[in-house]
Amino acid sequence: MTTAPFRPLRAAEVTAWDHEADVVVAGYGIAGVSAAIEAARAGTDVLILERTGGWGGAASLSGGIVYLGGGTPLQRELGFEDTPENMKRFMLAALGPGADEAKISEYCDGSVEHYHWLTDNGVVFKPAFWGEPGWEIPGDDGLMYSGGENSAPFNEIATPAPRGHVPQMSNKRTGEQGGGYMLMKPLAETAESLGVTSVFDIRAQRLIVDDTDRVVGIAAKKYGNEVFVRARRGVVLTTGSFAYNEAMVTSFAPQLIGRPGAAIEEHDGCSIRMAQALGADLAHMNATEVAFFADPQLMARGILVNGRGQRYVPEDTYPGRIGQLTLLENDNQAYLIIDEAAYEEGCTTTSSTPYFRFPPKWAAETVAELESDMGLPEGTLQATVEVYNRHAAAGTDPVLGKKPEWVTPIGTPVAALDLRNCTAGFTLGGLRTTVNSEVLHVSGEPIPGLFAAGRCTSGVCAGGYASGTSLGDSSFFGRRAGVAAAAEN
């Protein structure tokens, strides 16, 4: 039997099933393991198919930030007040436009319960707060601002509250064993203890449907051999984004063309394509997270200007927001203007990304000289620095609202770091799903037997981003997928 990529296969064509389970999950990352745990606890037999040699996915290689709020025990213990309503105000403002209000409402209302679910399954959050600007926490503190909640304009839309919850880690090795590994490990152990089984080194290729077009399994390949897996109740797709599918990126998110995917190579969009072949609807396929390769400790101490010598973002905000505004609205043109004293101070401050610190490209005794050396239009950088310094002398930034603690006049000597083309990213769009993780047909009706969660779906982010929302909504709606799949007849 030959299998055309992605096109659905009729169950009647399958002569023998190689594996069977009540619930079959494709992908053993954070969404997949969360779905498996809940489906197993609902009393069903669960099988996970994973294309690599072990569990983890992109989640285990990440910094492990989980976006949680609404008054979690960790927030309260560290003296921060938050409510689901306050959390929702921030998320709707920061993650749009067009953010799924129903999903955000469910997520915020269920955030405290989800925190308890994680800790009940062995995830540990150390009761310590990291308050410095940064992509991640350099040590093992458990709480941080991870979305610009305390910076303009969001600090006037909702009461600032840190919601980046980071699992406590030991022997941290960035990109190998960090917070993401310490998040996945206890969840994988929980799944195993519940009797969840796994098949590794197997690649899902297309969905299997019965004569009523209900999804009843997955056709896959393992070492080149065809494998047919029957799902007696439901299939859950959790194989990640399409950041490493060049054709899909070109079609849907061309702003990422030529930029490294801030994901893993297995994120090739296969779940999206398999479901599309059944008529699945898509949402926010152009939405992307944008990483910015600059040290937040330095950015907060200087000013960022575009190719016209103008400021465009409060420099003390979430660096992912800086990356999005740089790539999507300023032609990927960015320079950090900083004086010698601020640069030296920033370089001696603890940071999670010291490898993003590098020598300035230009240095001069005056702003006028620096402007000329950089090739900026005459007078543009001078005007920008003059306006900034005039207000900074009083500790204010009425133009963009940088917090007073970071507002200091730019002195001399002055330098510029060349941050052009310092961006990468991953995709946020995907399958349109319900709050119960049912995959929706273009007609608006759920596709029977098919569920999805994680970055193969359009989750709580529709354009903007906050670190932790991927792991957060992947695990939260992964759980929903497992419950719903287990409940199928």
Q: Do residues 268 and 456 lie in contact, with contact meaning Cβ atoms separated by under 8 Å?
A: no
pLDDT digits (tens, 9 = 90+) for 200-231: 999 999 999 999 999 999 999 999 999 999 99
Residue 261, pLDDT score: 82
Radius of gyration of the CA atoms of the chain, in A: 24
The tokens for 336 are: 């950090």
Is residue 2 over pLDDT 50? no
Fold of 1-293+426-489: FAD/NAD(P)-binding domain (3.50.50)
CATH architecture of 294-421: Alpha-Beta Complex (3.90)
Report which of 155, 154, 164, 159 is spatially closest to residue 128, judged by C-alpha positions. Answer: 164
What average pLDDT does range 300-326 have in this prediction? 98
454 phi and psi, to 5 degrees? 90, -160
Is residue 56 over pLDDT 70? yes
Domain boundary assignment for the chain? 1-293+426-489, 294-421
CA 46 to chain centre: 27
Burial category of 464 from C-beta neighbours within 10 Å (exposed 0-12, middle 13-18, buried 19 and up)? buried
pTM listed for this prediction? 0.96
User: In sequence order, which residues have a C-beta less than 8 Å from that of residue 118 and are 6 or more positions away?
Assistant: 66, 183, 187, 475
pLDDT digits (tens, 9 = 90+) for 225-267: 999 999 999 999 999 999 999 999 999 999 999 887 888 899 9
pLDDT digits (tens, 9 = 90+) for 112-123: 999 999 999 999
Helix or strand or coil: residue 82?
coil
Burial category of 357 from C-beta neighbours within 10 Å (exposed 0-12, middle 13-18, buried 19 and up)? middle
What average pLDDT does range 144-170 have in this prediction? 96
How many CA within 13 A on the CB side of residue 427?
35
What average pLDDT does range 187-202 have in this prediction? 98
Is residue 1 over pLDDT 70? no
What average pLDDT does range 22-48 have in this prediction? 98
Helix or strand or coil: residue 391?
helix
Q: Is 469 left (phi over 0), alpha (psi -120 to 50) or beta?
A: alpha
Quick one: CA dihedral 271, 274, 278, 282, positive or negative?
Answer: positive
> Which residues are 415's β-sheet partners?
338, 363
Is residue 170 over pLDDT 80? no
What average pLDDT does range 74-95 have in this prediction? 98
Q: What percent of the chain shows pLDDT beyond 90?
A: 94
Per-residue DSSP letter, 267: -
Averaged confidence pLDDT in the chain: 96
Quick one: CA dihedral 209, 210, 215, 218, positive or negative?
Answer: negative
